[in-house]
Amino acid sequence: MDKSIGQNLEVWLDFRKDITPDSEIRMWDFYGGRQWVLKYVPRFGKTIEAGCGMGRFNFYLSNIGLNMEGVDFDSELIKYLEDWQKKRNIQTKFICSNISELPYEDNSLNCCISLGVVEHFIEGPGQPISEFYRVLKPGGIAIIATPSIHFANAFHHLKLKIRKYLKKIFKLKLQDSPFFQYWIRPKHLKKIIEKSGLKVSRYGGLDLLYCFYEMGKNEGNNINPKSFSVFIANLFENTFLANFGAQSFTVSYKPGKNMLCFLCGESNATQESLSEFDVPICVDCQKNVQSEYYKKGKAIKYSLPYIIKPPVKPVTEELCEYCGKKYQSDELFEDFGFTKKVCPACIKIKEINIELSNKFIKPIWRKRGQI
Ligand SMILES: [Zn+2]
Ligand SMILES: [Zn+2]
């Protein structure tokens, strides 16, 4: 049997016919996960986005100074993305590969991001996650998300379960629809990830809003901004109720000797740091102000309530709040989703970037479709 490449290509061709890198970037919260990615992606070494699709994070994180590579099994898509970025004058790298057989050496990467990908493997998400473990350096970070079984699709799941038992008991030959994906609760995802050897340091649910979208509370491609669902999501997205949200989100590290320090990139983080912090940190860096953001239990909060359909802004002249110099806002990324004004040079400074990602994050954007 051929190795699964995570669903057949036809399904994906259909899925992506209405989206473009622009539309994906303008929805770059990734279903409420952007603040997690920004917080936990290491600023040193190479990061891959495994199953990058339209390359949203590959483009975004490259632009804020990270060394990124996007991996996807669809060679046509990669060609399209390479052409697209040429026109935009963005320089990031794409690799065509099946993510359950990554073209990287053992212990060679600082981070793997994989959002909404591993649930599409019919054999289950174990193989690609083991690959992430293999290619990460000790102390490297994996950021893995899948859809969760949330309140809006719980009934659908119940129906599937009943159908499965009926088939078994009565030996019925019911036709199943083609496999698309698994839905995995946060706790279950943690279990699966830890089987690979990775250790999960943060996990939970997020994106209450999307559940309402799935219930049909939407206007075309967008959730109605004046709806009750937006009101509820604004109230509860930062509470335990987020566990009933549409996404399971996890942050893990690869344990081992000489782990990478999250804050300086040296292989000198201590095992003990992991009882106090979410990520491995060396003794010296534990004294840095940035280490405060990574203390266990520190939540990430939006600095504004949800904006569902933000207007696309023209390029404007701004004043950087870090260096005081004037700069032009980015045509595509605008203010990069931060509430504090920052110029293209300052945004690439690791300490500034970490501060922005922990303190000045904007809320979810829901603009989708062609722009
Ligand atoms: Zn350090
Ligand atoms: Zn500046």
Asked if residue 15 has pLDDT above 70, the reply is no
**pLDDT value at position 370?**
37
Task: Name the closest ligand to CA 282.
Answer: 1
Give residue 261 CA to ligand 1 midpoint distance, Å: 5
Kindly state the percentage of the chain with pLDDT values over 70. 87
**pLDDT value at position 28?**
58
Give residue 27 CA to ligand 2 midpoint distance, Å: 25
Give residue 358 CA to ligand 1 midpoint distance, Å: 18
Indicate the average pLDDT of the chain: 86
**pLDDT value at position 2?**
45
The pLDDT tens digits of the residues spanning 50-101 come to: 999 899 899 999 999 999 999 999 999 999 999 999 988 888 999 999 999 9
Binned at pLDDT 50, 70 and 90, residue 369 comes out as very low
Give residue 211 CA to ligand 1 midpoint distance, Å: 40
Q: What is the 3-state secondary structure (H, E, C) of the chain?
A: CCCCCCCCHHHHHHHHHHCCHHHHHCCCCCCCCHHHHHHHCCCCCEEEEECCCCCHHHHHHHHCCCEEEEEECCHHHHHHHHHHHHHHCCCCEEEECCCCCCCCCCCCEEEEEEECCHHHCCCCCHHHHHHHHHHEEEEEEEEEEEECCCCCCHHHHHHHHHHHHHHHHHCCCCCCCCCCCCCCCHHHHHHHHHHCCCEEEEEEEECHHHHHHHCCCEECCEECCCCHHHHHHHHHCCCHHHHHCCEEEEEEECCCCCECCCCCCCCCECCCHHHHECCCCCCCHHHCHHHHHHECCCCCCCCCCCCCCCCCCCCCEEECCCCCCEEECECCCECCCECCCCCCCHHHCHHHHHHHHHHCECCCCCCCCCC
Residue ranges near ligand 2 (ion) with Cβ within 5 Å: 320, 322-323, 343, 346
Binned at pLDDT 50, 70 and 90, residue 6 comes out as low
Task: Name the closest ligand to CA 320.
Answer: 2
Give residue 285 CA to ligand 2 midpoint distance, Å: 24
* Least confident stretch, 17-21, 37-41, 123-127: 17-21
**pLDDT value at position 367?**
57
Q: What is the mean pLDDT of residues 232-258?
A: 87
**pLDDT value at position 233?**
80
**pLDDT value at position 163?**
78
Binned at pLDDT 50, 70 and 90, residue 211 comes out as confident
Asked if residue 29 has pLDDT above 50, the reply is yes
Higher local confidence (pLDDT), 338 or 10 = 338
Give residue 307 CA to ligand 2 midpoint distance, Å: 26
The pLDDT tens digits of the residues spanning 147-164 come to: 998 777 777 778 777 877
Give residue 61 CA to ligand 1 midpoint distance, Å: 21
Q: What is the mean pLDDT of residues 37-41?
A: 95
Q: What is the mean pLDDT of residues 271-295?
A: 96
Query: From its phi and psi, is residue 132 left (phi > 0), alpha (psi between -120 and 50) or beta?
Result: alpha
Give residue 89 CA to ligand 2 midpoint distance, Å: 21
Give residue 278 CA to ligand 1 midpoint distance, Å: 14
